[in-house]
Amino acid sequence: MSKLGQVVEAVESYNKFVLDHVKRARSDEQFGRELLGRWNDIKAKIPVTRTPTGLPLPRLALPDIDDPGEIARYLFGEGLPGEFPFLNGAYREMYLEPVREVESFEKDGGTGRGRPLGAPEKKIPQAEEPTRLFSGLMLAEDTNERFHYLTQHQRTHRLSTAFDGPTLYGIDSDADGVFGKIGEGGVAIDTVEDMVRLYDGFDLGSPNFSASMTISGPAPIIMAMYIAAAKRRFGPKVVPKLRGTIQADIFKEVQAQNETIFPIEASLRFLTDMVEFTTREMPRWYPISISGYHIGEAGSTPVQQAAYTLSNGFAYAEMFAARGIPVDQFGPRLSFFLDCGLDAEYIALARVSRRIWAIGMRDAFGAGQRGQLFKLHTQTSGRSLIAAEFKNNLTRTAAELMLAYMNATNSCHSNSADEPFTTPSEEWIRLAAHGQAILLEESGIFKHTMNMLSGSPGMKAVERAIEVAILKEFREIERLGGVLAAVEDRFQRSQIQNAAHRYEQQIYDGTRPIIGLNKYRNGEDDAPEIKLARTPRAKQQLQVDRLKKFKKKNAEKAKRALDKLVDVVERGENCFPALLGAVEVSSLGQITGRLQEVVGRFRPMV
């Protein structure tokens, strides 16, 4: 049985554990009283907060239950926010306004006149600002300028970087036939010098800075470039301080996104090399973002998205453990990335995922609490946005944001309404960011009370249905011999394609209404006036020229560094340190090319 099979058993036995405790709470008076006591204690400690109109509200909402059985079901089955199995949230408090005045809610029956419970709890883990904006365009200096624009009013600088096509495929900007693609859809990065330009002016070692890089196929090379760039600017001591995330999710590339450049086994080996290095040397770095987003965008059902993402995550955990990396070293450095669309499943998809991950990591992998947390970045669905009557996309994104925060996501990116056309332009990015601010800061939906919208009967029904469906997918993958075997069999890929085809069919036959497209259509294809962020030819030429200069300057050194890299790869050692040397003098394409000579190229699955 692979670890995935053990995860299924762990979840099933945990569910049984919960039911047993529900029964026991009802039959064993002593146990029932203890639970009731604990429950009342929890409630008594909940601080009170006030809405702007003065209405007192508890900072944590709990169900109105007093039956010990129901209390057991809640505490064990769902857990308080920040408590195992984390259904309601990875942390105790998220999105809440800072505490101004702390009062007990219970003691005065919610009149708000209770005496303060002493000093406000300053140690409440304040989640970072959940807004993360994705950007990448043209050349490194252009993206850098955009980064500075986006973060001008922000306390913390959390940059999320999109790369252009050639970079995503590990190709140099001077390669044949990619000229028009330079800087399109993301930033062009060929060398460590570009990487220096990309984050210029930001303090990479600061606790208030984090960089996220959305790239998988050549991720270890790009990671090495980032480290090298940081060292060039701040010296070697900055390395352990670096914060951020690199996507590096090979499984989802093969399953959905098609940006794999080495054969699967070699890709996984390079990934593990990187994870082994970063989890040891860079304890604040997330070296992998296990991503369902692209699975969802490629057309999977929400359940498939969660099931494949989680099972990919467990497969990575199994692989890292097999390399000998301790689970409490890598466990806390795994993070997740999910899509949030408009389907009903999204009401609870991330909640259920968080619970399954926690149980699996604790009971099948023996992870400690930090390694049990399903740390989630959510992005609203790009696929749900359409070109026809595109301003409707604002509403779609707003509804998706609402769902994402109902799932207690740790961070979120909201798409720009103009995304179906281009790399988002400033005007629409601003609206997208403001959408989040309106929801979290202006509206009272999330800022006063944790659990404000959790636990409705509908949400619970969705949770139950989703969990059953995800476990069913796990069993199917296990039956095929585990995640890697299923991936090589194209199992997930064909399931996703099938679901995508059905989705399109539903749009064409109208059973899936898309407003402005197949329903309430105004009859015209409106091509809105949107300023397109296209990369001028002169800039593309500049990138090519700079790259050629770099290659010429380093020709000799590059050869030596690449020979050394190849040697390490052939010997089967961890090649990440050699990569760190190679990126100083060679380009992304040079490194990819040499590695492909040794390990081969990825053969597309069609």
- Residue 401 · residue 380 · CB < 8 Å: yes
Judged by beta carbon, residue 165 or residue 577, the one nearer another protein is 165
Contacts to another protein by CB under 8 A? 164-166, 168-169, 171, 176-182, 184-185, 257-259, 263, 266, 298-299, 386-388, 390, 420-423, 497, 500-501, 504, 508, 517, 525, 527, 530, 532, 534, 599-601, 603-606
Least distance (Å) between residue 249 CB and another protein: 14
Least distance (Å) between residue 181 CB and another protein: 4
Least distance (Å) between residue 83 CB and another protein: 40
DSSP SS3 for 300: coil
Taking the C-alpha atoms of residue 407 and residue 130, their distance in angstroms, rounded to an integer, is: 13
Judged by beta carbon, residue 333 or residue 594, the one nearer another protein is 594
Taking the C-alpha atoms of residue 287 and residue 271, their distance in angstroms, rounded to an integer, is: 9
Judged by beta carbon, residue 538 or residue 606, the one nearer another protein is 606
Helices 302-323 and 491-509: crossing angle, nearest 10°? 160
Judged by beta carbon, residue 107 or residue 383, the one nearer another protein is 383
Least distance (Å) between residue 253 CB and another protein: 8
Judged by beta carbon, residue 172 or residue 193, the one nearer another protein is 172
Least distance (Å) between residue 75 CB and another protein: 43
Characterize 153-182 residue by residue with b for buried, 16 or more Cβ atoms within 10 angstroms of its Cβ, and e for exposed. eeeebbbbbbbbbbbbbbbbbbbeebeebb
Least distance (Å) between residue 397 CB and another protein: 15
Q: Which of 377, 378, 385, 399 has the alpha carbon at shortest distance from 428?
A: 385
Q: Which of 371, 372, 351, 333 has the alpha carbon at shortest distance from 451?
A: 351
Taking the C-alpha atoms of residue 565 and residue 580, their distance in angstroms, rounded to an integer, is: 10
Least distance (Å) between residue 137 CB and another protein: 10
Judged by beta carbon, residue 178 or residue 219, the one nearer another protein is 178
Tokens found for residue 177: 């036939």
Taking the C-alpha atoms of residue 246 and residue 167, their distance in angstroms, rounded to an integer, is: 14
Tokens found for residue 287: 């070296």
Taking the C-alpha atoms of residue 281 and residue 294, their distance in angstroms, rounded to an integer, is: 29
- Residue 297 · residue 381 · CB < 8 Å: yes
Judged by beta carbon, residue 112 or residue 263, the one nearer another protein is 263
Least distance (Å) between residue 572 CB and another protein: 14
Pairing mode, strands 285-286 and 244-246: parallel
Judged by beta carbon, residue 366 or residue 481, the one nearer another protein is 481
Q: Which of 40, 39, 59 has the alpha carbon at shortest distance from 51?
A: 59
